[in-house]
Amino acid sequence: MRMVYESKALSEVFLMKGVLDAEGIHAEVRGEDMVAMQVPTTPSLWVDEAQVERASIAISEALQSAPDAESVLEEMEEAEDADGDEDEDGAETMSELFLVADRLWHDPFRVDLLEELSSLSEVLATVGPPFGVEDATWSRLGVLARELIASQEAEDEDVFRQAAHNLRDYLRDYV
C-alpha cells in the first residue's frame, strides 16, 4: 500500500476517501486513532499499489474542481464562532438583566440602572436568544423589560418595584 493523500484535518482525509470510494477505489485512512487520542500526527489516505495512479488522478481532479477545503472549513468555523458569540451575548444579557432588575427592586429609580436597563432592552431586540432559550421566552423578556421601563414613568414606587420583581423572577430560572 502507498500513501496518496495526507492532511492535518481528518475531515479532509475522509472527504478524499469519499471521492475514492465513489470511483470504486478502496482506500484506508491511517492515523485516525492517533488524532482521537490527541497524539500529534498527520492523518493520511492509503491505497493498493495498483490503484495509486487512479487514486492520484481522482484526488487531483477533486481538489481542482472543489473550493479550497481549508477556506470552506474556515468559513464554517467563522459561522460557528458568530453563532457562539450570539449565544454568549444573549446569555450575558439575561444575567445582566437579572442583576439590574434585582438592584432596581431593592433601590428603585437609580438613574444608572435605568440607563443600563434601556441598553439591555435594545440588546434584547437585536440579539437572538441563547441556545436552549425558546423564542417565546426571549420575547417575554423583552415585554417585561419594556414594562419595567414604562413603569418608571408612572412614578409609583410600588408599580415600579412590582415590574422589577416580575422581570427578576422570570429570569431566576435562567441565570
- Concatenated DSSP letters for 38-71? T-----EEEE-GGGHHHHHHHHHHHHHHSPPHHH
What contacts 12, CB < 8 A, 6 or more positions away?
A: 69, 73
Span 90-104, pLDDT tens digits: 888 899 999 999 999
Span 157-169, pLDDT tens digits: 888 999 999 999 9
Are residues 100 and 37 part of one domain?
Answer: no
Q: How many structural domains is the chain composed of? A: 2
The reported pLDDT for the residue numbered 125 is: 85
Are residues 108 and 58 part of one domain?
Answer: no
Are residues 56 and 132 part of one domain?
Answer: no
Q: How far apart are CA 15 and CA 19, in angstroms?
A: 7
Are residues 99 and 49 part of one domain?
Answer: no
Q: Is the pLDDT of residue 84 over 50?
A: no
- Name the pLDDT band for 174 (thresholds 50, 70, 90): confident
Are residues 106 and 124 part of one domain?
Answer: yes
> Is the pTM higher than 0.85?
no
Q: Are 148 and 167 in contact (CB under 8 A)?
A: yes
Q: Is the pLDDT of residue 46 over 90?
A: yes
Is 162 buried (19+), middle (13-18) or exposed (0-12) by CB count in 10 A? middle
Q: What is the mean pLDDT of the chain?
A: 84
Q: Is the pLDDT of residue 26 over 80?
A: yes
Are residues 168 and 82 part of one domain?
Answer: yes
Q: Is the pLDDT of residue 72 over 70?
A: no
Are residues 94 and 30 part of one domain?
Answer: no
Q: Which residue range forms the structural domain that includes residue 160?
A: 72-172
Span 106-117, pLDDT tens digits: 888 788 898 899
The reported pLDDT for the residue numbered 77 is: 64
How many other β-carbons are positioned within 10 Å of the β-carbon of residue 16? 23
Average pLDDT over residues 51-80: 76
Q: Are 108 and 85 in contact (CB under 8 A)?
A: no
- Name the pLDDT band for 75 (thresholds 50, 70, 90): low
Location of C-alpha cell 431566576: 172
Q: Is the pLDDT of residue 82 over 60?
A: no
Span 139-161, pLDDT tens digits: 999 999 999 988 888 778 888 99
Q: At 3, phi and psi to the nearest 5?
A: -75, 135
CATH label of the domain that carries residue 62: 3.30.70
Q: Are 49 and 1 in contact (CB under 8 A)?
A: yes
How many other β-carbons are positioned within 10 Å of the β-carbon of residue 155? 9
